[in-house]
Structures are given as structure tokens and as C-alpha cells.
Amino acid sequence: MTDGELVVLSRQGSREAFGVLVGRWNPRLFRFLLRSLGDEEAARDTCQETLLRAWINLGRLREPEHFKTWLHSIALNLCRDRGRRSERREVALGDAAALDGASVEAGGVLRESERRDGVLLLETVLARLPMEQRTAIVLRELEGFTSVEIAAMTGVPAATIRSRIYYGLKALRRMVPVGGGSVLEGGTSR
């Protein structure tokens, strides 16, 4: 079933349909929150709060087929609220990468070590970006949302999102020398 069909059933009171939605989106939502908040406990709490708010406010979702974007919008707003209440924390991409199921290939211990070094470098430099740029980059480059979807989540024009991604990546490139397989090229750092 599609997200839209599950939303319609959920609105009719089907907890099972909403359970399928939760099962489908919970891991990805948690990963996004972990990358954004940099704290596993805060990410877990915010994920639960996001899903609770989604259940309570499901009737407000105008386009059921856009459940994924709407769900991430709720999560993003909760992240902003947390950001206003606490100091900026480092992004935990290393933990998030482990959740993605990354594994060490046979004989690839050195490559895995280089990858981990690259992830640590990336999470360090991402944490230095302003929240707006970091959020845009994480949603686009790591979560795979389009600029239009991010714009819908944030209430900011898509052109502004593209600008944030551009300037954020430009700042990352200044912080990390690109070349010879750096993190920003999708390889490992050296």
C-alpha cells in the first residue's frame, strides 16, 4: 500500500495502517534526527514526539501522498524548538552511518578505518555550519529529499534551499581539502 492509502485508512481509525507507516518511516526519521541533533537520546525522544504529533494531527494533512515530507516537517520543527532551548551539538553522523548497515568488507579493515576517519571529519565540519545550511545539506545529500520537498518542510522557497546547499557545500570544501578521494567527493579522506 502507498503512504497515501495508509494515511486514509489511519484517518478512519486504523491503528494497524498507522503502524505500517511508523514501521516504514521510523528508521529513516530517526537517522535524520540523529544527524540533526547529534544526540541519540534526544533523537529518540524527538522521533517519538514526531510520530505522536503525526497521529494526533493526521486530519490536517491535506495531501496524504505527501506523508513523508509532512512527517519530516514536524520533525524539523521539533528540532528547531530543541535548538532554541539548548546549545548547538555536534552532528552524530558516525552513529547514523552505523544505522545505515555499513559493514567491513573482507580484507577491507584499512578502508573501514579510512571511512570512519572521513565520517568523523564530515560530522565535525558539518557541526560548524549554520543550522539552516546543515539542515538543507543533511536533508538533500544524506536523506535524498529534493529542494522542492525541503522547501515544503521548511516554509522557505526552493531557490533559498538551493542557495543554502550551495553555500554550505562551498563552506565545507573550504574546511576540508577536496581531492584524492575526500569525504566531499563521496570517497574516503586521506
Is it the case that residue 35 has pLDDT exceeding 50? yes
Residue-wise pLDDT tens digits, 80-128: 887 666 544 444 444 444 444 443 344 444 444 445 555 666 777 777 8
Query: Best-predicted range by mean pLDDT among 123-127, 167-171, 177-181?
Result: 167-171
pTM, entire model: 0.64
Find, among 136, 9, 147, 132, the residue nearest to 67 by Cα: 9
Residue-wise pLDDT tens digits, 149-160: 999 888 899 999
CB 145 within 8 A of CB 69: yes
What region, left, alpha or beta, does residue 107 occupy, with left being phi > 0 and alpha being psi -120 to 50 degrees?
A: left
Is it the case that residue 20 has pLDDT exceeding 50? yes
CB 91 within 8 A of CB 127: yes
Residue-wise pLDDT tens digits, 58-79: 999 999 999 999 999 999 999 8
pLDDT > 70: percent of the chain: 72
CATH-assigned architecture of domain 3-85:
Orthogonal Bundle (1.10)
Q: Which pLDDT belongs to residue 34?
A: 84
Is it the case that residue 167 has pLDDT exceeding 90? yes
CB 26 within 8 A of CB 51: yes
Return the CATH number of the domain spanning residue range 93-185: 1.10.10.10
CB 165 within 8 A of CB 156: no
| Mean pLDDT computed over 160-179 | 85
Cα(184)–Cα(79) distance, integer angstroms: 25
Map out the domains of the chain as residue ranges: 3-85, 93-185
Q: Which pLDDT belongs to residue 102?
A: 40
